[in-house]
Amino acid sequence: MFTSIRPAAVAGLFYPAAPDELRAMLEGYLARARMSLISQANTQHSQAKVIIVPHAGYIYSGLVAAHAYVLIESMAATVNKVLLIGPAHRVYLQGGALPQSQYFETPLGQISIDKRSVEMLESNPHITVSDLPHQQEHCLEVQLPFLQHCLNQFELIPLLIGESDPQETAKLLEQLWGGEETLVVVSTDLSHFHRYAEATHLDKLTCQKILQGLETIFPEQACGSFCLNALMLQLKRHQLCLTQLSYQNSGDTAGDKNRVVGYASFASR
């Protein structure tokens, strides 16, 4: 059933449902990320076109994500559109899915969907326009409070990616790429449910692939592999490189070390 507002599905689960508590948590992670980046002298990404961020519950991956989001705070006056892409976890997809809804909602308020972009792509054979894949999907939703906190008013293009050809997905991204007014956010976690030492080793290899711009990332290396492989083609097209900002896994943050999930953040330069 069509509704004009896609309500938050994982507020109170992946992040706080109370606005004040959510803002305090976000600012806490961002403050820690600022100090970390200053200590690394890692401040050269103030105009990042692309960031890659994890999408677990904030207690697990919020600090890793904050290392990328802190870089876009200085872009708040410039960015008025966010292309947000991530993997479809709940519904099997071939190609991509954009929503019918006109707004996505979080405890921090509503975000307008860029309907012009949806209308532009709705006849594309690789795109489905449907709210169903988005209804319970967390990978895009958990990025929204960070974006609301760090940017001013913006329109959102929430694109879920399923099984797809990197070349075809890269063509979609190119249509939505825009200029400095458009920020591209890619949502992905890394390896899942290995022991701590094995996960750290596997994730290091995956991060090296990302830094080298290789479009040979497999689903077992990153749940957003289809997104990442298409992004690698886009980065080459636009002559952009990535720098890694942070890495942790759930064994470092709020989980045990027997079955961990890996998280990393990157920004373009």
pLDDT tens sequence across 34-78: 998 777 765 555 679 999 999 999 999 999 999 999 999 999 999
pLDDT at 47: 77
pTM of the model: 0.96
- Cβ(157)–Cβ(81) under 8 Å? yes
pLDDT at 45: 52
**Domain range annotation of the chain:** 5-268
pLDDT at 3: 60
Closest CA to 182 of 151, 224, 140, 137: 151
pLDDT at 1: 42
Positions of the chain with pLDDT lower than 70, given as ranges: 1-3, 41-46
pLDDT at 255: 87
Q: Which CATH number fits domain 5-268: 2.60.40.60, 3.40.830.10, 3.40.50.12780, 3.40.50.720?
A: 3.40.830.10
